[in-house]
Amino acid sequence: MPELAPMARFGGLVASDLRDVTTDPTALDSSGFWAVAADFEGQTVCARFLDVRPDPAPPAGKWHGPAPADWVSSLDRDAYTAGVRRIRAYIAAGEVYQANLCRVLSAPIAPDADVDALTALLASGNPAPYAGTIRLPAHGVEIATASPELFLRRRGSAVESGPIKGTGRTEADLLPKDHAENVMIVDLVRNDLGRVCATGTVTVPELCVVEKHPGLVHLVSTVRGELRDGAGWAELFAATFPPGSVTGAPKSSALRIIGELETAPRGPYCGGIGWVDADRGTGELAVGIRTFWIDRAAPGGPLLRFGTGAGITWGSDPGREWEETELKASRLLAVASGEYDTTSEETL
């Protein structure tokens, strides 16, 4: 089977003619248009493309997804709810205020599967502000994202993050726990950006705004700052990665707990995915949620993977947190498996 050509698609642009691939984020302050995939475990792939042109619509009708019954979760309901209870015990002991607990779902996929065709399907079944594709088969990166969450936006020295915490089917489902969770993560993001921004420039112009997305609502805040002199993408990554909204607070404690309780690497899920135009000093990276990726190195053949999770606080109910992960996953898994009717707002 011939290998699919390298490409990337973001914001109405498609990039082709791959010229460079590096794991060094300092390249993002050099020149050219780059696609960026930073996985949760810290591996960053930056790919520079020469040909960048408008192409708002990915090719439709070419995706053949896994059977709906083939999806397997790295944590079942019992293991996940036990993890929630364990995090609550850590909170009671004063070791952490909040921690994200996630699980990875996997299903067999055909060898000729193309993530850009999945991006086309997601565009109709689950449109998202930071949707995109990165296809670098030779480098183990094949990602289709329908992310609603901004990790980092940069315009010159101005930087912005848009953390999401708090999810429900409707605004009426949002609880005081969701607002408290959002405020805690905003404080963490402020501190992260404060490590790389000029003193006094970090602000929170929007706090706990309700945003509607396909099938659910989120609480979203905005944190802004001005990079200090000499700081670039490498310093931004060092100060802010992994994203605070998908780790917890304090971040170091949350990462330790995540490592203890989660049984599968997150990969691109909960990482950073997007583009950088080094010539213009601009870029936009999403938090890698609502994200599919192909794992061709899996034993037994290629797998399509997808992550889902929830932020756990002292006020968390284990069963409700499991249901939140189901809510976040159900529509997207249905789209990827060909079981979602785009003429309806309900998952079949």
Q: To 10 degrees, the CA torsion angle through 304, 71, 288, 169? A: 150
Phi, psi of 84, rounded to the nearest 5 degrees: -60, -45
Distance CA 301, CA 296 (A): 6
Q: Residue 41 has which token pair?
A: 């475990």
Q: How many Cα atoms within 13 Å fall on the side-chain side of residue 70?
A: 16
Question: Has 251 been annotated as catalytic?
Answer: no
DSSP bridge pairs for 130: 147
Q: What angle do CA 39, 216, 322 make, to 5 degrees?
A: 65
Distance CA 7, CA 51 (A): 10
Q: What angle do CA 164, 165, 168 make, to 5 degrees?
A: 105
Question: Has 212 been annotated as catalytic?
Answer: no
**Catalytic residue (one of 41, 62, 142, 165):** 165
Contact 142, 115 (CB under 8 A): yes
Distance CA 224, CA 197 (A): 9
Kindly provide the b/e burial profile for residues 21-50, where b requires at least 16 CB atoms within 10 angstroms of the residue's own CB. Answer: beeebebbbbebbbbbbbbbeeebbbbbbe
Q: To 10 degrees, the CA torsion angle through 186, 189, 191, 194? A: -120
**Catalytic residue (one of 3, 95, 149, 177):** 149
Contact 115, 333 (CB under 8 A): no
Q: Residue 64 has which token pair?
A: 């053949």
Contact 287, 272 (CB under 8 A): yes
Nearest to 150 by CA among 215, 49, 244, 232: 244
Distance CA 100, CA 247 (A): 5
Residues labelled catalytic: 149, 165
